[in-house]
Amino acid sequence: MEWRDQLNHYIEMINHSLREYTNIGDERNHLVVEAMQYSLFAGGKRLRPVLTLAVTEMLNGTVEKAMPYACALEMIHTYSLIHDDLPAMDNDDFRRGKPTNHKIFGDGVAILAGDGLLNLAYEIMLQDLLLKKNPDSFIRAMKCIGNAAGVRGMIGGQTADLINEGKSVTAETLTYIHQQKTGALLSASLTAGAYAAEADEQTASELAAAGHALGMAFQIQDDLLDLDGSAEELGKPIGSDLRNNKATFPSLYGIDDSRKQVKSLTNKTLATFKSYGESSEFLQSLARYLVNRRS
């Protein structure tokens, strides 16, 4: 199968499971469930759950066993976007060309929909744990996701982002924000896939490191694309982000150095994947695609 077909196959399976997991509305709670589904099906790329399923298959695990953890990661990612978009946070009216959750459902329901998705992520993983004779490795999958999502992970990064808004930040702070806000959950996506395949600790830890590198490469590439977009589409001079105090990797390190970092981080990720041989071909293609994308 071509890697693009494989990608679409994963996405279809993920969407199917997400529909099933969120089929929990009743007469009373349907509004908040509708709000959860709205953002969950608003065009996400499913990057995190795809990584989980692909890592599991690379390590001879099954999609079926990894699916609750893959979907939990997508729910956690989605809840973080809903809360991030709120007027009290980034105050965004649109995401992926669609009105943000609170623009449709109001701020109160949007807060509850985010809370509901975070909680549902844990509910579906717990439901899965109960079915296991030996749940140990799956508890580890759940734990790495939990740690990545918490104040020592993603929420810590969002807090740093929020309190540094409009301020000039150091390269160190920017790296922290990206590592926590994006890297932690991306890394957990790979680690959860490893644990869902009942891989050993060393494998999980190698893949966690590869995930951190991939997350950082992905984020710097995002910064570079924003810069291209700004220059071409808005006509503002490259580097204006720096003068606007919006710290990005290119504004702090320059474009050439940022490109070099993307390359070096990607090579680190690819080296890890390659060490697993042929079964990692899909992940290699996906990693190359992510850092070479033009949008």
Residues of the shown chain interacting with a copy of itself in the complex, contacts defined by CB under 8 A: 24, 26, 28-29, 31-33, 36, 79, 83, 86, 88-89, 106-112, 114-116, 118-120, 122-123, 126-127, 129-130, 135, 139-140, 142-143, 146-147, 149-152, 155-156, 158-160, 162-163, 173, 176, 180
Q: What is the DSSP letter of 93?
A: S
Rounded CA gap, 41 and 43, in Å? Answer: 6
Tell the smallest beta-carbon distance from residue 270 to a copy of itself (Å). 30
Tell the smallest beta-carbon distance from residue 272 to a copy of itself (Å). 25
Is the CB of 156 or the CB of 239 nearer to a copy of itself? Answer: 156
- Cα angle for residues 140, 193, 84 (degrees, 5° grid): 85
Is the CB of 183 or the CB of 269 nearer to a copy of itself? Answer: 183
Tell the smallest beta-carbon distance from residue 182 to a copy of itself (Å). 15
Name the E strands within the chain. Answer: 94-95, 98-99
Phi and psi at 96, nearest 5°, equal 50, 40
Find out whether 269 and 217 touch, Cβ atoms under 8 Å.
yes
Is the CB of 141 or the CB of 270 nearer to a copy of itself? Answer: 141
**Which of 64, 54, 11, 42 has its CA nearest to residue 214?**
54
Tell the smallest beta-carbon distance from residue 38 to a copy of itself (Å). 14
Is the CB of 89 or the CB of 238 nearer to a copy of itself? Answer: 89
Is the CB of 195 or the CB of 273 nearer to a copy of itself? Answer: 195
- CB atoms closer than 10 angstroms to residue 204: 22
Tell the smallest beta-carbon distance from residue 161 to a copy of itself (Å). 10
Residues 6+ apart with CB under 8 A from 190: 51, 52, 55, 207, 208, 210, 211, 214
Is the CB of 14 or the CB of 184 nearer to a copy of itself? Answer: 184
Is the CB of 4 or the CB of 152 nearer to a copy of itself? Answer: 152
Long-range contacts of 264-267 (CB under 8 A, 24+ apart): 265/213, 265/214, 265/216, 265/217, 265/220, 265/291, 266/213, 266/214, 266/217, 266/291
Tell the smallest beta-carbon distance from residue 2 to a copy of itself (Å). 38
Tell the smallest beta-carbon distance from residue 121 to a copy of itself (Å). 9
Instruction: Identify the helix (H) or strand (E) that includes residue 274.
Output: helix 255-274
Tell the smallest beta-carbon distance from residue 157 to a copy of itself (Å). 8
Phi and psi at 94, nearest 5°, equal -130, 150
Is the CB of 142 or the CB of 270 nearer to a copy of itself? Answer: 142
Rounded CA gap, 274 and 249, in Å? Answer: 28
Phi and psi at 95, nearest 5°, equal -145, 130
